Amino acid sequence: MAAPDSTHLWSWLADQVLSRGKPLRLRARFSGDVEGKTPVFLVVREGEPMVEPSPEARALFDQVDPQMVVSRFIDQAQSTR
């Protein structure tokens, strides 16, 4: 269940989209990116939010090796047993 403040935020964002007649685009960042070097954008269209990565963020995502990520989770799971 969403917190009241969270529900209010999403309602407000949906109202902004309706009043402007176009998608709302807000600059955001990942919590670990304190300096905001790889921003993303929160885009709200017709009440549906999505995240649009910046070119900087996309370049980092493209460098992620899925096999390495999986192996790290497997290693951590085995070490906690």
Give the whole-angstrom CA distance, residue 52 versus residue 60: 14
Q: Is the CA virtual torsion 52, 57, 58, 60 positive or negative?
A: negative
Residue 72: pLDDT band (50, 70, 90) is confident
Q: pLDDT tens digit string along 23-52?
A: 889 999 988 889 988 889 999 887 688 999
What pTM value is reported for the model? 0.60
Q: Which residue has the tokens 């009241």?
A: 4
Average pLDDT, the chain: 84
Q: What is the pLDDT of residue 79?
A: 60
Give Cβ neighbours of residue 52 (< 8 Å, ≥ 6 apart).
Answer: 25, 40, 41, 42, 43
Residue 63: pLDDT band (50, 70, 90) is very high
